[in-house]
Structure 1
Amino acid sequence: MEPDELSAEDEALRSFLPTSFGKQSRTANVKAQIDLSRRKPAAEPKQLPGISADTSSGEDAASAASDAEDDSEEEDEFPVSHEMLLKTHQRAVTTATLDPSGTRLVTGSTDCTVKFHDFAAMTPTTIRAFRSVDPTATKGSANAESHPVHQVLFNPISPSQILVITALPQARVFSRDGELLTEFAKGDMYLRDLHNTKGHIAEVTCGAWHPTNRDLCVTAGTDSTLRIWDANNKRAQKEVIVHKSRIAGSAGRTRMTAVAWGSPMQGGNNLLVAAALDGSLAMWSGEGPYHRPAADIRDAHARDTWTSGVDISADGRLVVTRGGDDTIKLWDTRKFRAPITTVTHPSTSSQYPTSNIRFSPTSANILTGSETGDLHILNPATLRPELVTPVTPGSPLITVLWHEKLNQIITGSANAETHVLYNPNISTNGAKLVMSKAPKRRHIDDDPNLTMDLAHGISGDSVITPGGAQSAATSFAARHPNVGLTASGRSRDPRRPHVPATTPFAKSQPDEKHIREHIPLSSMRDEDPREALLKYAEKAEKDPMFTNAWKTTQPKTIYAELSEEEEEPEKKKVKR
């Protein structure tokens, strides 16, 4: 048989056998994986009954072709062609933040947790959070209850600090790894003058970092105050700004709903802008003085509506607000009297008070969500939509963020989903990096549902030897701590009991031996006090210490003798 005929016969066998030995490098089809993350086009609107679409004319065909070209241009202009989905929360995602380098994503939710995600550690098959933190149940907190998370913000100057705002009077600063660094003080609610309290006396609604000073941040609360804090001093705020409401019958107090602290990119004075529940919008100089606003608009939005979003443009000239009166308004800081532009936009602040609105990194566009789950990219001059794309249809879009370095858009929705929108042509790292990695290979031993079944316990005739099944299971659990867990960190097995976390406070508790050896009279805790006193009864009778002066003069106690007819009185029953 000729060699050519032999090779043709054994071609299938040769393709099956390995061509080399040793560890094989894993390669990923990057283009195919990125194509899988491409977003599906929006469904075409349904035709109404009795109306037919006429596309026979050449003009309509030309317009359709031009629309298709415009859509392709929009995909290249805005990073919305592809997406990566994160399902790490159980309830609505109310806030999201990225560090300036774009490597770490932190999200907050109404499930009272803060999730930490690292793009460098994720693969297309392992998109999950590496840590979950309950910010109100950490060491040093006086509250054991959990509360919803309103806002999380990375420090733009020092990425190692994260400002966390929850439904409590105390804001907190965490590290990028989820460790509590600072918990600001709580004020005295019985003091009438709010300038004299050391912190908020009511719930904090929002906050912002100083744009140029790494140590300063501001928080706004329902006690009608803005408080500027030094992250290195948690005992008292640095400045107090009391916003006085002009509504009759409010006693000069109102709830602060949104705050923004901006600095012009080309230099200049910082701006501090805040909105209140009475519909007012106030502006202060970012560096002070704060005794009175530099400009104040009394009826910026409708009274008693929650203005959930405020943001300042990169040049410091424009301010955009999203009110609870179903309007979006654009303001000029140089003529802070009346809005430049006003458009109608349905609000979701009554149900989700953290619904925000943001400028793009270059302030060339404005981003916000809608109650229908669409992402709206608006023109800052006219506030008209340049692009409306569905993200979570039927579920309100709460929070939006456009990261400058990654050129990617992060959205959080009421259905507990976090979407990272990107375009492989104009975006860098982030979700694009995750989708460019090879999927993580899983061995069959990594699935405990296939390797062990302890539903009926261990049989009695089984032999357990040291280093056997139990040791193997223990070492497996040590090597694979996340196997068998959901993306949110919960066990997939409902029979698995809850294992309490070992906190540093529990580690500092002294043991019994230390108490017995080093703490005086500690053994008295285990003694019966009655027996401890009765063992000195005989000594007290022979050698009275306190009644020795009346020993010779004390009369002898004489008891009446009982006759034969009389019975001994019954002893009183001891009440137990």
Structure 2
Amino acid sequence: MDTRKVNEASEKMDGDEDIGSVMGFSGFGKKARTFDLDAIFEQTRRTAIERSQRIIEERQAKTQMEEEGESSHSVKPSIHRQKDKAAAASSSGQKSESSSESDSDSDSDSELIGPPVPTQLAAQEDDEEFVGPPLPPGYTGSTAQSDDDDDEGETQDDDDDHPVKKIPDTHEITLQHGTKTVSALGLDPSGARLVTGGYDYDVRFWDFAGMDQSLQAFRSLQPCECHQIKTLQYSVTGDVILVVSGNSQAKVLDRDGFNVMECVKGDQYIVDMANTKGHTAMLNSGCWHPKIKEEFMTCSNDGSVRTWDVNSEKKHKSVFKPRSHQGKKVIPICCTYSRDGKLIAAGCQDGTIQIWDRNLSVHTKFHCRQAHTPGSETSCLCFSYDGMTLASRGGDDSLKMWDIRNFKKPVNEATRLTNFFSMTDCCFSPDDKLLVTGTSVKKEEGNGKLVFFDRVSFQRLYEIEVTNASVVRCLWHPKLNQIMVGTGNGLARVYYDPVKSHRGAKLCVVKSKRKEKQAEALTQDYIITPHALPMFREARQRSTRKQLEKDRLDPKKSHKPEPPVSGPGRGGRVAAHGGTLSSFIVKNIALDKTDDSNPREAILRHAKEASENPYWVAPAYKQTQPEPIFEEESDEDEEADKEPEWKKRKI
């Protein structure tokens, strides 16, 4: 009974298989392949170890032979190549094993996913030697690694270990702003235009894409008349420029130098600076908000820091009043925003650094009383790109770094950095690893330098001697990777690297100088009479070049003057002495050798002949000339002449 049921079930299954094969889905229920992963990994590991040992032995033998013959060495293959070969070997072993298993299974049609690796490429990878990238100049590390270091990570590039290699100082260009100190530099966010300002009241615009090798500014103006320019900065969008000068009113210009707005002047008779609408004394510095494109900030000698809106020039937005330890007014020398725009920092004349929350203008959030020497002018404050570090350039010849989370004492400090200007800059590198500032020098007492410090250790890593004058302004643009420097002798220098830098100065150094067009002189002045009659109207001159060409063809207008006659003479012109004015004077006046010992006789030698035989004047008046009648002198006149002077009658 049971045997019959089993036979029926088997027949039924055979029938189902036939139906499935006819319909095309008989292979769906095939058993999946299984792999012994432990065996595969063990075989791969053994193959890699054997291959590495064989390569090392071959290298050592080759090195020994070369040392004996030519005393030269060969570079061992790097661990990366060994790892690649081991991985290739393991993959090839796995592929061979999988292929053998696939051959054993006769029912599988296509087990491998994707095309197989070409045999020529696999053989080329195994046979070729690894050739690494060239080592950077000045590299002191070892090119070979020991066998014990095979399991370590990848070697770092030398440029990462030495931030000095990232300084773009291989090439430079010099922009001649003027003869006086360049006290302000500004570069737009895209890096296309540079603006410079100085003690000569001028603001010059430089376009890198439009300049050639002559390096000439395309515009120069004096926006603040006879006031020194102290700060120039493009907004975050680059469409307007903030101009801070020696007067009490800051200005905002557009990209072409036209006035957009001017801050209002405050009432100088009001004591509380919060009750007046603007500054009442000379400005010291200013900057744009890093996030809000309409807001900017200024600080002044009136003891206030004010924020402004471009759209409302009649009044400031908010006022921050720095105070000393006794609560007295102090003068802010420099001011800046944090990178996120939430904090406002000011360096004051009493050596303090005061930081406010942008929305709370009464009390300071961070305050350091003895940041720099009291009485010195803190010339610059700069936040790092991560927003946690603040760098301050003091008038006491120091550069300090602060952590705003612990603002009681500086993290690092550098001294002997001479500073003669109240706007000497300091800035961070684009990768936030270096800190840059400039030094000042007296006239003919050395060269101004650009000094680079490591941010972590604060070691002086590198120096650039700029020129024989003070380095006042410095700017490291993160997009261009170029350094702009303003000096005390009227120069603005741009340092760049053809490989590491982008655009900027690289655009203008490749352009040749344009040929200057010579001014064409007008041959004739024309009077334009549009309402004259046609018979009196002259044809209007369309081009001076065409008129010059016509005059050249005219034999009368283009006739060459005849040269002086030399020799016996020709064409009716005699070449005797006196042909020219100089020769006539020499012959008749200068070299006249007639010796008149008696000048009176020389003058009157023709008087007798003229009176006897008149020729010019006397014949014309001969008939009408009256006879002269002279008065005879009497005796009284003779006696009057003999009287003394004091008796003579006064008339």
For the residues of structure 1 that align with 2:246 and 2:185, how far apart are their CA atoms? 16
Q: Is 2:334 the counterpart of 1:258? A: yes
Matches within 5 A, 1:289-300: 289-300=360-371
For the residues of structure 1 that align with 2:514 and 2:223, how far apart are their CA atoms? 34
Q: Is 2:418 the counterpart of 1:347? A: yes
Match of 1:185 among 258, 264, 281: 264
C-alpha deviation, 1:76, in angstroms: 4.5
For the residues of structure 2 that align with 1:246 and 1:69, how far apart are their CA atoms? 53
For the residues of structure 2 that align with 1:114 and 1:367, how far apart are their CA atoms? 25
SS of 1:329 mapped into structure 2:
strand
Q: Which residue is equivalent to 1:301?
A: 372
Q: Which residue is equivalent to 2:439?
A: 370
TM-score (norm 2): 0.55
CA 79–468 in structure 1, closer or farther in 2 if over 3 Å, else same:
farther
Q: Which amino acid aligns with 1:341?
A: N
For the residues of structure 1 that align with 2:221 and 2:310, how far apart are their CA atoms? 20
Q: Contact 1:373 / 1:395 at 8 angstroms: preserved in 2?
A: yes
Q: Contact 2:334 / 2:381 at 8 angstroms: preserved in 1?
A: yes
For the residues of structure 1 that align with 2:271 and 2:345, how far apart are their CA atoms? 25
Q: Is 2:252 the counterpart of 1:163? A: no
SS of 2:223 mapped into structure 1:
coil
Q: Is 2:467 the counterpart of 1:388? A: no
- Name the one with the larger helix percent: 2
Matches within 5 A, 1:51-62: none
SS of 1:283 mapped into structure 2:
strand
SS of 1:440 mapped into structure 2:
coil
Q: Which amino acid aligns with 1:387?
A: Y
Match of 2:312 among 205, 229, 233: 233
Render the CA deviation track for 1:491-545: whole Å, top value 9, x for unaligned. xxxxxxxxxxxxxxxxxxxxxxxxxxxxxxxxxxxxxxxxxxxxxxxxxxxxxxx
For the residues of structure 2 that align with 1:277 and 1:378, how far apart are their CA atoms? 25
Q: Which amino acid aligns with 2:427?
A: R
SS of 1:195 mapped into structure 2:
helix
SS of 1:173 mapped into structure 2:
strand
Q: Is 2:178 the counterpart of 1:106? A: no
SS of 2:405 mapped into structure 1:
helix
For the residues of structure 1 that align with 2:199 and 2:417, how far apart are their CA atoms? 22
Size of the alignment, in residue pairs? 377
For the residues of structure 1 that align with 2:483 and 2:261, how far apart are their CA atoms? 30
Question: What RMSD over aligned residues (CA atoms) do the two structures have, in Å?
Answer: 2.8
For the residues of structure 2 that align with 1:105 and 1:118, how far apart are their CA atoms? 6
Match of 1:152 among 224, 232, 253: 232
Q: Which residue is equivalent to 2:488?
A: 414
Render the CA deviation track for 1:330-380: whole Å, top value 9, x for unaligned. 10010111111111033323xx21111111223221111112311111111
For the residues of structure 1 that align with 2:379 and 2:475, how far apart are their CA atoms? 15
Q: Which residue is equivalent to 2:354?
A: 282
CA 128–192 in structure 1, closer or farther in 2 if over 3 Å, else same:
same
Q: Contact 1:75 / 1:81 at 8 angstroms: preserved in 2?
A: no
C-alpha deviation, 1:229, in angstroms: 0.5
Q: Contact 2:395 / 2:422 at 8 angstroms: preserved in 1?
A: no
For the residues of structure 1 that align with 2:466 and 2:223, how far apart are their CA atoms? 29
Matches within 5 A, 1:182-221: 182-221=261-300
C-alpha deviation, 1:198, in angstroms: 0.2
Match of 2:393 among 297, 304, 322: 322
Structure 2, unaligned runs of 5 or more: 1-135, 141-157, 441-446, 528-538, 549-651
Q: Contact 1:228 / 1:238 at 8 angstroms: preserved in 2?
A: yes
Q: Percent identity?
A: 32
For the residues of structure 2 that align with 1:238 and 1:441, how far apart are their CA atoms? 48
TM-score (norm 1): 0.62
C-alpha deviation, 1:272, in angstroms: 1.3
C-alpha deviation, 1:292, in angstroms: 0.7
C-alpha deviation, 1:410, in angstroms: 0.3
Q: Contact 2:212 / 2:514 at 8 angstroms: preserved in 1?
A: no
Q: Which residue is equivalent to 1:270?
A: 342
Higher relative contact order (CA 8 A, sep 6+): 1
Q: Contact 1:76 / 1:426 at 8 angstroms: preserved in 2?
A: no
C-alpha deviation, 1:88, in angstroms: 2.7
Q: Contact 2:279 / 2:302 at 8 angstroms: preserved in 1?
A: yes
Match of 2:500 among 416, 426, 429: 426
C-alpha deviation, 1:120, in angstroms: 1.0
Q: Which residue is equivalent to 1:50?
A: none
Q: Which residue is equivalent to 1:559?
A: none
CA 216–385 in structure 1, closer or farther in 2 if over 3 Å, else same:
same
Q: Which amino acid aligns with 1:282?
A: Q
Q: Is 2:180 the counterpart of 1:91? A: yes
Matches within 5 A, 1:439-450: 439-442=512-515, 446-448=517-519
For the residues of structure 1 that align with 2:342 and 2:433, how far apart are their CA atoms? 20
Q: Contact 1:323 / 1:347 at 8 angstroms: preserved in 2?
A: no
For the residues of structure 2 that align with 1:219 and 1:292, how far apart are their CA atoms? 19
Render the CA deviation track for 1:301-330: whole Å, top value 9, x for unaligned. 111101101100111110011111111111
Render the CA deviation track for 1:462-517: whole Å, top value 9, x for unaligned. 865679999749x99xxxxxxxxxxxxxxxxxxxxxxxxxxxxxxxxxxxxxxxxx
For the residues of structure 1 that align with 2:164 and 2:369, how far apart are their CA atoms? 41
SS of 2:278 mapped into structure 1:
coil
**Which structure would you say has the larger Rg?**
2
Q: Which amino acid aligns with 1:128?
A: Q
Q: Which residue is equivalent to 2:428?
A: 359
